Structure 1
Amino acid sequence: MTAANKITRPEAGSRKASREMRRQQFIEATIATLARNGYARTTLTEVAQTAGLSHGLIIFHFETKEKLLTETLIYLAREYRDNWTQSLAQAPARPAAQLEALMRADFVDSICNPERLGAWSALWGEIQSRPIYREHGADFDVEYAATVRRLCSELIQEGGYPCDVEAVSRVVRVSLEGLWLELMNTVEPYPVGEALKAMFQLAMAFFPKHFGKHGAITD
């Protein structure tokens, strides 16, 4: 294994690193290993090697592969939620600007990069049927769906658009999810900017008074 495959370790005081720091190292190593090896070939030994830490230490912190992958999934779900909620908080309060921020949030480098996408792809088929995800991640999905619906409803009211809010908000959500799936699995990757352009075209179709090809209209 090359040095590039290892997760960076603290240079000082590594033996006294906090429990949370160690767990974070292992989770980041799991993300990297999932992206590289896929779900079935991700093992505790491989994750420990990627982290540059001992097999015994990963057992101490997570006990089993299933628990480690569950923690990793929850971490990714929270990271995703933190990303879009922070984007909304920083955007202007206008519903068009908020929806643009929500769309752009899906394609920022910190969460939409080959390693993160690879890990999500490896987990995707496993998580949908797992009660553990429904227990810990379902609230995030409900919150996200409600936010998209609210923004679409506000835009429909502002623009007097003859749209059904349930249908439109569902199309927005599944389009964002579909573009992520395509970026995860496409044989010939394309720039994430192209995915964002597709979302703006969709927004233009539903909300032509509010969106142009480059995002929300500010005039």
Structure 2
Amino acid sequence: MATEADKQKSEKTPRTRSKQERKRQLIDATITSIAKYGIPGTTMTTVTSIAGLSLGLVNFHFESKQKLFEETLLHLALEDQEMWRKAIEGKGLSAEEKILAIVDAHFHPKVGSRKKQAVWFAFYGDSTSRAAYRRIGGDIDDARYDCLLALLNDLKNSGDFPHVNTTDVATIMESLFDGLSLTMLIYPGDTTRDDAKRQMRSYLAATFPNRFTPPEIAT
């Protein structure tokens, strides 16, 4: 027999779920709007028009456009973090396999679509949004960098790589993530996800010979 607490939980769940669904709907619409109109051209009106929801509803959930933008940025950052963290959860993965899993996760269509990359670079390029990006995404960016650095140190310590500066390698990898993503966004016909992953692998193979297979002879 259901208890009073069970009944209350049952009554609250649909409303809670509906609220979260509406927020996600508005965040998805914000991503679409920024990708199409940029940050300056995205307004509460463009977002609600895309979402098919009322202006009052977006104001209720987010209070202001700035709050909506920040929640959208946080959503994208956490989505990206969840992707690479899940990719390295497998038991028995070597340091090399985990590094390649992080590379694959970064270029996965779920987080690396042209629409979402357009939003990332819109935040990078908008002077009024950079401070919010650093505040919201800084710790999340640092978490991946720290993970990469730890894995690279494992590689260095397990092989004959005394010359390798792992801090530089981790920094270069993060730069390659951004640079290749931007290239894919601007020149979609010239660089594919597979191209980007191949170039990352080439860099790793050149830095850690015999630990990463060069793409041209990969089986």
Could you state the TM-score of these two structures normalised by the residue count of structure 1? 0.84
One-letter code aligned to 1:80: D
> Within 2, Cα distance between the matches of 1:17 and 1:154?
43
**CA positional deviation for 1:188:** 4.5
Do the aligned residues in 2 keep the contact of 1:44 with 1:55 (CA within 8 Å)?
yes
Asked if 1 retains the 8 angstrom alpha-carbon contact of 2:124 and 2:130, the reply is no
Aligned-partner residue type, residue 157 of structure 1: N
Between Structure 1 and Structure 2, how many residues are aligned?
204
Aligned to 1:97: 97
SS of 1:179's partner is helix
Describe the shift of the 1:47–1:62 C-alpha distance in structure 2 as closer, same or farther (beyond 3 A): same
CA distance, structure 1, for counterparts of residue 106 and residue 57 of structure 2: 34
CA deviations on 1:114-152 (whole Å, 9 max, x unpaired) are 211121122222379644333332211221111111111
**Aligned partner of 2:171: which letter?**
R
Q: Residue 107 of structure 1 contacts residue 196 of structure 1 at CA under 8 Å; is this kept in 2?
A: yes
Percent identity for Structure 1 against Structure 2: 30
Partner residue of 2:193? 192
Structure 2 equivalent of residue 203 of structure 1: 204
Q: Provide TM-score, normalisation by structure 2.
A: 0.84
Give the letter for the 1:167 counterpart: D
Partner of 1:30: 30
Identify the structure with the greater helix proportion.
2
Aligned to 2:177: 176
Structure 2 CA distance for aligned equivalents of residues 187 and 95 of structure 1: 31
AA aligned opposite 2:197: L
- Secondary structure of the 1:39 match is helix
Aligned to 1:8: none
Structure 1 counterpart of 2:156, which letter? Answer: I
What corresponds to 1:10 in structure 2? none
User: Structure 1: 5+ residue runs without aligned partners?
Assistant: 1-13
**Equivalent-residue separation in structure 1 for 2:38 and 2:195 (angstroms):** 26
1:190-209 CA-to-partner distances (Å, cap 9, x unmatched) read 21110111001001111111
8 Å contact from structure 2 (residues 145, 174) kept in 1: yes
- CA contact under 8 A between 2:123 and 2:129: conserved in structure 1? no
Of the structure 1 ranges 29-38 and 180-189, higher mean CA displacement relative to structure 2 is found in 180-189
State the alpha-carbon separation in 2 of the partners of residues 175 and 16 from structure 1.
40
Q: Secondary structure at the match of 1:211?
A: coil
**Cα 1:91–1:40, aligned 2, differ >3 Å: closer, same or farther?**
farther
Report the Cα distance in structure 2 between the residues aligned to 1:129 and 1:51, rounded to whole angstroms. 23
AA aligned to 2:82 is D
Instruction: Describe how 1:42-191 pairs up with structure 2 within 5 A.
Output: 42-90=42-90, 92-126=92-126, 130-161=130-161, 162-186=163-187, 188-191=189-192
Query: How many Å separate the matches in 1 of 2:94 and 2:133?
Result: 33
Counterpart-to-counterpart distance in 1, 2:190 and 2:72 = 25
Structure 1 pair 15/129, CA: closer, same or farther in 2 (3 Å)? Answer: closer
Sort the Cα spacing of 1:90 and 1:37 in 2 relative to 1 into closer, same or farther, 3 A.
Answer: farther
Change (3 A) 1:168 1:16: closer
Moved more, 201-210 or 132-141: 132-141
- Does the CA-based 8 Å contact 1:91-1:97 persist in structure 2? no
Query: 2 CA distance for matches of 1:194 and 1:160?
Result: 29
CA RMSD of aligned residues (A): 2.4
